[in-house]
Structure 1
Amino acid sequence: MKSSDFLFKSSASSPFTVMMRKEMADHIRSWRFIVLLILIFLTFVASMYVSLANIKSATGNAGDPDHVFLYLKLLTTTDNSIPPFHVFLSFLAPLLGISLGFDAINAEQNSGTLTRLMAQPIYRDNVLLAKFASALVLIGALFLMLALWMVGGGLLLTGVRMEPQELLRILGFVALTILYVAFWLSLSIVLSIRFRGASTSALSAIGIWLFFTVFYQIVLNLAIRSVLPDPTGLSQDQILGYNELIMDLLRIAPNQLYMDATTTMLMPSVRSLGPMTMEQMAGAIPSPLPFIDSVMVVWPQVSGLIAATVACFALSYFLFMRREIRS
């Protein structure tokens, strides 16, 4: 069914609502979304199986401040055979966002449906917002469903009641994952507007993802060794400044922001994401942080992801509004 025919099939609905339904239906029926959905589901099942097999040893360690949070342990416990689920998502979530957005605009233009769609009395921003919002709704439903499965499975298998703080932290983890996917989705939409070919935009998005995931840390280490002095022989304050500079440079990468935020959210004992002096650690009681304090710790990472997502979406809006569609 063509976009323009689908758009006004129901006169009772607004164009934006109908376009969202059409985009969601297209995503659900696409094989690439189904394949990634199966991959994420299998990863989730494997991570939960390993966590449940090692949950007794994880919760039985009284020296661990987080041992009382059983449901958080389901997301972080592993026997080193496979990474925890949130580490898997740092690799898989960008692919999900890229797959939903790399051909959002150029595929419509190459097939000729975008010209017919713009001939209707609708605004351009409705088209862009519908493509972005429909993908976010599907992503939110997917990760919320996985979180509910995890909570329900843990309740059935262990019979342990969930603490309110655990629920808040799991919901915070879901929100962070949605925000992380939203960044890659908005970036892939920018590339789909910038490049006419869908394969070019897909390869560009995957190249950016590979750079930040694999090569950025290698390039940064080489640059630091050649530019910054050797930390041997420096004072404690100089070493702290050295480490803080390295951490700040690493946090340019979106996957590092996501890992810092999710680690703090799922491990309440994490009190700082940077180096600390012995004076700062003196007198600290090894107890879990309240949820609000953990949010304050990761707020710079969260605000960085939000700013990057908004910047990419604003750039896509600017490019799309100035684009000549009839060509």
Structure 2
Amino acid sequence: MTINWLQIKQKIEVLFNNVSTGPAQAREPGSSSSFWVMVKKEIGDHIRSWRFGILIGIIILACVGSIYSAVTAIRDGTLDKTGNGESFLFLRMFTLTSSSLAVPSFATFLSWLGPLLGIALGFDAVNSERNKGTLGRLLSQPIYRDDFIIAKFISSLFLIFIVVFSLGFLVMGLSLLTIGYPPSPEEFCRIVLFLVIAVIYIGFWLNLSILFSIRFRQAATSALSSIAVWLFFTIFYGMIIGMINSATAVSSTQPDPAAQLRQMNLILTLNRLSPTELFSETITTMLSPGIRTLGPLTMDQLVGAIASPLPLGQSVILVWPQLTGLIAATIICFGISYALFMRQEIRARA
């Protein structure tokens, strides 16, 4: 029995061509080119919008004000009063604030204004297209539905990335001109990680606003819902935890160390259900190497401890649970938005 290798080779080539061209032709309506066209269009629409320009102007003013406050604090000798001397002075430009000026630090400004940036980019991502009648017409074209919602998220997250890193490097440049020497490699890595964490945190609020834009048909309703959730976690959630702390406080007449420790761990766990608290703990540890723990300490744990700043790797390990929680919350919000959008009925207007 002879084997015709030429025929076998021809059959393999035909089979390979069918396999390679079949999925490509099936995926052609939602190809990567059309996806990136939608991403570029969304980026252009955001950049040309008035609300994006107004928010960027406010954030830049806040950035310059925080740098001025940090420089004023250094000139007033606040840095020496804290006992840190000039160690990690470049990082202190992101967290230091002057007591004589009512201007928060850059990290505080970013934690306040960052969620507003994410909400502004996503609160009308879907319902505006629906109300204008362009959503049904767009999806009636050879475009996959999941490409539409992913393009909305990717374009807004890309803008958030550009804005956050631009502001961060602007602060670094102004700090370099102010204090006169560049950051160390560890300081630079800590600042970059801080900016990456800020992008993840703002991405959570972006996904939450996109979720409300899918759930509600009116853009005003989705915007108010997003702002209401942000205000709840920023202001009212801390008040609720404070009331729970007062109600469950251990009696001071007969203190029980084990009961006090359980009560402190309970309050700490409840606080960490808030994404704002997770972000605050994460960036505080990244920008302050002297922080060695984020929970209660006993006297046995303090015995033999050396008061020295943590290296970068140890700081990342310390905040890894908080960072994982932020990433998980962002992914969960996007997953709910994706599933809800894929199940909705969309009709084109006449």
Normalization by structure 2: what TM-score? 0.86
Q: Distance in 2 between matches of 1:103 and 1:230?
A: 47
* Unaligned residue ranges in structure 2 (runs of 5+): 1-30
1:220 alignment partner in structure 2: 241
Change beyond 3 A, Cα 1:36–1:237? same
Match of 1:77 among 82, 96, 100: 96
Among 317, 320, 331, the alignment partner of 1:310 is 331
Partner Cα distance (1:145, 1:117) in 2: 33
**Candidates 240, 246, 254, aligned match of 2:261:** 240
8 Å contact 1:55–1:73 — kept in the other structure? no
Report the Cα offset of residue 236 of structure 1: 2.0
Alignment of 1:161-200 (within 5 A): 161-200=182-221
Deviations 1:243-281 (A, max 9, x none): 111011011111111100010000000011111111111
- Contact kept in structure 2, 1:106 and 1:192, CA below 8 Å: yes
Q: Is the contact made by 1:58 and 1:73 (CA closer than 8 Å) also made in structure 2?
A: no
Q: Matched residues, percent identical?
A: 48
Do the aligned residues in 2 keep the contact of 1:61 with 1:67 (CA within 8 Å)? no
- Mark the CA change 1:28 to 1:61 in structure 2 (over 3 Å): closer, same or farther: same
2:124: which partner in 1?
Answer: 103
> CA separation of 1:62/1:320 partners in 2, compared to 1, >3 Å: closer, same or farther?
closer
Q: Tell me the residue number matched to 2:11.
A: none
Question: Out of 128, 142, 145, which is 1:121 matched to?
Answer: 142
Decide whether the 8 Å contact of 1:102 with 1:201 is kept in 2. yes
**Structure 1 residues 130 and 59, CA, compared in 2 at 3 Å: closer, same or farther?**
same
| 8 A contact 1:231–1:239 mirrored in 2 | no
Worse-matched range after superposition: 235-244 or 51-60 = 51-60
Q: Secondary structure at the match of 1:54?
A: helix
Q: Which has the larger radius of gyration?
A: 2
Following TM superposition, the consecutive aligned residue runs of length 4 or more in structure 1 with deviations greater than 6 angstroms are none
Alignment partners' CA distance in 1, 2:95 and 2:161: 21
Report what 1:90 is aligned to.
111
Query: For the Cα contact (< 8 Å) 1:101–1:185, is it kept in 2?
Result: yes
Alignment of 1:1-327 (within 5 A): 14-56=33-75, 57-60=77-80, 63-64=83-84, 67-80=86-99, 81-226=102-247, 228-232=248-252, 233-326=254-347
Report how many aligned residue pairs link the two structures. Answer: 314
- Residue type of the partner of 2:36? T
Aligned Cα root-mean-square deviation (Å): 1.7
| Aligned equivalent of 1:7 | none
After TM superposition, give the deviation of residue 61 of structure 1 in Å. 5.7
